[in-house]
């Protein structure tokens, strides 16, 4: 019997960078009644606060919720009536500057400049630096149509890997590329979660939309967790309904 269900965020629990819809908040509240729940994604804490933490119904048992921004290099839990940081693995200033310079060089070399950009394209998230091809405030429709097959980002990813040896460079969300320390991916984050929660990996499962070779959810599968690949939040809600029925 599974004790903990972990989820990707964008395109799994919610549309890219959008808040949970009410049906998903209710589904997660139901699941929290029978299991621990974790959310692990590349966004930073303010995005998690906006998309997840502030969107749960009052009845949700937040004490059993584990929120893991920046691919699990940060962990937040709910204690004494508020969210607090359990840990945060931040870049040293010199490494951060080297990554930012590499992004500038790579984007110039690959020529990946869209016709329109909404906001900053590169964001320093402390323990992760993220490139959003269309900008941080790009509308959902534009993001969904820019690189649906990952082909454009694969070009940038390959170039960055030559410039930043020893770091992990993975595609995430609809238009993003995340740079973290070497070895940091969702498998890394889930092992950190095991250590923090005391729940063995065999007693966890993972649900995400990118569980395929090259997808940023695939490391959960290579770690040996039971996984379920979904296409969008409504499908995720149906999976949750089945899990709740089985775990009750």
Whether residues 193 and 83 share a domain: the answer is yes
Tokens of 146: 């820019």
Whether residues 228 and 116 share a domain: the answer is no
Whether residues 160 and 214 share a domain: the answer is no
pLDDT of residue 173: 76
Closest among 166, 37, 160 to 106, alpha carbons compared? 160
Domain residues for the domain of 212 are: 4-89+184-247
Whether residues 156 and 189 share a domain: the answer is no
Whether residues 129 and 195 share a domain: the answer is no
146 to each of 106, 115, 126, how far by Cα in Å?
A: 19, 11, 27
Whether residues 204 and 163 share a domain: the answer is no
Helices (H) and strands (E) in the chain, counts: 8, 11
pLDDT of residue 231: 94
Query: Are residues 157 and 106 in contact, defined by beta-carbon separation less than 8 angstroms?
Result: no
Provide the CATH number for the domain around residue 158. Answer: 3.30.1240.20
Q: Which residue has 């959960």 as its token pair?
A: 220
Buried-state track 155-180, b at ≥16 Cβ within 10 A, e below 16 = bbbebbeebbeebbbbbbbbbbbbbb
Q: What DSSP character marks residue 14? A: B
Provide the CATH number for the domain around residue 26. Answer: 3.40.50.1000
Q: Is 28 exposed, middle or buried (0-12, 13-18, 19+ CB in 10 A)?
A: buried
Whether residues 190 and 155 share a domain: the answer is no
β-bridge partners, 74: 88
Q: How many structural domains is the chain composed of?
A: 2
Mean pLDDT by 10 residues, the chain (248 residues): 95 94 98 98 94 98 97 96 95 93 91 84 90 89 88 92 93 86 93 97 97 90 97 97 94
Whether residues 60 and 100 share a domain: the answer is no
pLDDT of residue 148: 87
Whether residues 98 and 176 share a domain: the answer is yes
Whether residues 114 and 225 share a domain: the answer is no
Which of 144, 159, 181 terminates a domain? The answer is 181
Which of 134, 156, 181 terminates a domain? The answer is 181
């Amino acid at each position: 019997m599974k004790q903990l269900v972990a989820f990707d965020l964008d395109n799994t629990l919610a549309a890219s960078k959008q808040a949970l819809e009410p049906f998903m908040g209710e589904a997660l509240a139901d699941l929290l009644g029978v299991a621990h729940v974790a959310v692990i994604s590349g966004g930073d804490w303010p995005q998690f606060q906006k998309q997840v933490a502030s969107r749960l119904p009052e009845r949700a048992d937040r004490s059993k919720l584990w929120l893991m921004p920046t691919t699990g290099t940060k962990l937040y839990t709910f204690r004494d009536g508020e969210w607090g940081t359990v840990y945060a693995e931040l870049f040293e200033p010199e490494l951060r500057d080297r990554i930012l310079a590499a992004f500038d060089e790579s984007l110039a070399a690959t020529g990946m400049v869209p016709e329109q950009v909404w906001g900053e394209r590169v964001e320093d998230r402390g323990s992760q630096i993220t490139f959003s091809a269309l900008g941080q405030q790009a509308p959902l429709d534009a993001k969904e149509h820019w690189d649906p097959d990952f082909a454009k980002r694969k070009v940038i990813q390959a170039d960055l890997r030559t410039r930043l040896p020893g770091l992990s460079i993975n595609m995430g969300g609809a238009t993003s590329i995340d740079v973290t320390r070497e070895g940091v991916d969702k498998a890394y984050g889930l092992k950190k979660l095991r250590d923090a929660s005391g729940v063995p990996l065999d007693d966890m499962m993972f649900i995400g939309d990118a569980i395929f070779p090259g997808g940023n959810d695939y490391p959960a599968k290579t770690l040996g967790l039971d996984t379920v690949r979904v296409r969008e939040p409504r499908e995720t809600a149906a999976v949750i309904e089945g899990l709740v029925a089985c775990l009750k």
